Amino acid sequence: LVIRHYDFKQLKVRFHWSVFIWVPVLFTIVGLFGDVVTTLSGEYNYFDPALVPFVNPQEIINKLLALSPMASAYGLLNGFYEEFFFLGLMTSVKEEHQWKALAFSTLVRFSFHSYQGMLWAIVIGVVYGLFYYFMYKKVVKNLLPFFLMHALADMFGSSFIYLLIAWAY
């Protein structure tokens, strides 16, 4: 990109107070959708009423502190480079090429996640990818929340309810 004189200034990566709002909001939306998919597919029922006694918001902090430094670093790095490519570079094309770039980005995102099975490749690659795209282009207009939200998903998975449950180990 440097050799091709890419203008990195066109990528909107800004530290702003709204990042502290957007990261948990985006993760919650994506995580709850992931919980619905997991429940409907029969993998696990995150909406089982028997889990209610085990819900504890403190578990979010506990699970964050339980991560190894390597898992945290990998999550941050992966969240950065995937969204830098998919949302940043792929959306910084001329207007007449936006839909082609979005289609290609969705296909590549899907293929990157195919190792997780077809259901999750479709959910992550298509549903989440299109959600991220439209939220970035129309609402958030800042890549940083997507970098961080993706990192959280890499660290904890695409489940919001999982983070809240004090599992009996």
Separation between Cα atoms, residue 44 and residue 58, nearest integer Å = 22
CB contact at 8 A, 56 and 157? no
In this predicted structure, what is the pLDDT of residue 91? 83
Query: What is Dmax (Cα atoms) for the chain?
Result: 57
In this predicted structure, what is the pLDDT of residue 7? 84
User: Strand, helix or coil at 55?
Assistant: strand
CB contact at 8 A, 80 and 147? yes
The set of residues, in sequence order, having a beta carbon less than 8 Å from that of 162 and lying 6+ positions away, is 31, 35, 46, 156
In this predicted structure, what is the pLDDT of residue 169? 56
What is the dihedral sign for C-alpha 57, 58, 61, 62? negative
Full pLDDT tens readout for the chain, 169 residues: 788 888 888 888 999 999 999 999 999 999 999 999 999 999 999 999 999 999 999 999 999 999 999 999 999 999 999 999 889 988 888 889 999 999 999 999 999 999 999 999 999 999 999 999 999 999 999 999 999 999 999 999 989 999 999 987 5
Nearest alpha-carbon partner for 12 in 91, 81, 78, 77? 91
